Amino acid sequence: MLEEYKEKLRKMGYEGFYPWEDPPGTYYGWHTHTEDEVRLVLEGFITIGTEEGTYTLGPGDLLEVKAGTRHWAKTETGVKYLCASKRSV
């Protein structure tokens, strides 16, 4: 399944894949990235907030966050996800 997810993200223009894991209770305050970022959840749940809304992601869900977008993230359950980035156009 992981290779299928990577292929899906490649088709969306993402590269530099790396798995990441956050334990229960992890919180990242408001921040930005210099490149477009994607998070594709493998296990658990994560909530990501932007100035436009709040999104709760579970297994198989993904969220793209464009470069420069202020956002925060937290997990109550713990989460494993696949990360990747691409340069903004």
pTM of the model: 0.91
Please give the Cα distance from 82 to 63 (Å, whole number): 11
pLDDT in tens, 7-37: 999 999 999 999 999 999 999 999 999 999 9
* Average predicted confidence (pLDDT) for the chain: 95
What would the mean pLDDT of 54-66 be, rounded to a whole number?
Answer: 97
- What's the rounded Cα separation, in Å, for the pair 89 and 49? 23
Identify the CATH homologous superfamily for domain 2-86. Jelly Rolls (2.60.120.10)
Indicate the pLDDT class of residue 72, thresholds 50, 70 and 90: very high
Domain spans in the chain, listed from the N-terminal domain onward: 2-86
Q: Quick check: 89 pLDDT over 80?
A: no
**33: helix, coil or strand?**
coil
